[in-house]
A and B are shown apart, each in its own frame.
Chain A
Amino acid sequence: EADIYQTPRYLVIGTGKKITLECSQTMGHDKMYWYQQDPGMELHLIHYSYGVNSTEKGDLSSESTVSRIRTEHFPLTLESARPSHTSQYLCASSEPRTGDTEAFFGQGTRLTVV
């Protein structure tokens, strides 16, 4: 089983609140990703990081921000949550230096904004 953890698993929060979704991995992977998945739909990349102090926006526009201060930690923040942010957020990591590039995913955070 992959060593990548997301907290919280479920979150219900009111409109306008600031929230941070946590993602940590203990595999020492350089690359980390955040995906958004609506029910019945494919995963869309919203942020990724090649390593410490590296962050990039993904294909899907998102009002969230990320930071990568430590290799193992890649939190995602919404400054002001809105109902349109209701979705599942999935964090992943991979290690291209090994030549394998297999991606491992966390269990996800299901966010509901009311």
Chain B
Amino acid sequence: KQEVTQIPAALSVPEGENLVLNCSFTDSAIYNLQWFRQDPGKGLTSLLLIQSSQREQTSGRLNASLDKSSGRSTLYIAASQPGDSATYLCAVGANQAGTALIFGKGTTLSVSS
């Protein structure tokens, strides 16, 4: 059974720092991996989608990498801002039919000004 783990569970940094959030998964046979942002009491906002054949995706200050063989993904946030404060969720798609995404518990990020 696929399990997704995110480390650390919480992270506090001063504004301007570059940071890395980690995601690991137990079964490397994934179809894709998606990073989301969740603000308190809100739904999920998709940040980046990486297909299994890809190694990384970039959007603005965000860069996500994928190493399927080792079961790892990282989300790199450059020059963090207070507005980046949120919970970041990693989710893996099991197969092409897309039965559903399997989620980690998330990393709660706090960026202080």
CB within 8 Å of B: which residues of A?
A: 2, 6, 31, 33, 35, 40-43, 45, 48, 50, 58-59, 88, 90, 92, 94, 96, 100-108, 110
**Measured between alpha carbons, how far is A48 from B31 in the docked complex, in Å?**
18
What residue in chain B is nearest A33 (Cβ atoms)? B100
Contact partners of A90 in chain B: CB under 8 A: 43-44
Residues of chain A with a CB closer than 8 A to B36's CB: 105
The distance from the CB of A4 to the nearest CB of chain B, in whole angstroms, is 8
Given A90-B43, A107-B42, A108-B43, verify A42-B98 contact (CB < 8 Å): no
Instruction: Check A105/B44 contact, CB under 8 A, given A40-B105, A42-B105, A100-B49.
Output: yes
Name 6 A/B residue pairs within 8 A (Cβ), A-sorted.
A48-B99, A90-B43, A96-B96, A105-B36, A105-B46, A108-B43
Question: Which residue of the partner chain B has the closest CB to A31?
Answer: B98
For the complex of A and B, the 9 pairs showing the least CB-CB separation, nearest first, are: A105-B44, A107-B43, A45-B100, A43-B103, A105-B43, A42-B103, A108-B43, A102-B49, A42-B105
**Taking the complex as formed, is B80 at the interface, i.e. its CB lies under 8 A from any CB of chain A?**
no
Q: Which residue of chain A lies nearest to B108 when distances are taken between CB atoms in the complex?
A: A40
Name B105's contact: one of A41, A58, A88 (CB within 8 Å).
A41
Residues of chain B with a CB closer than 8 A to A92's CB: 44, 101
Say yes or no for B104: interface residue by CB 8 A criterion: yes
Minimum C-beta distance from A61 to chain B (A): 15
- Complex-state Cα separation, A41 to B105, whole angstroms: 5
- Decide yes or no whether B60 CB sits under 8 A from chain A: no
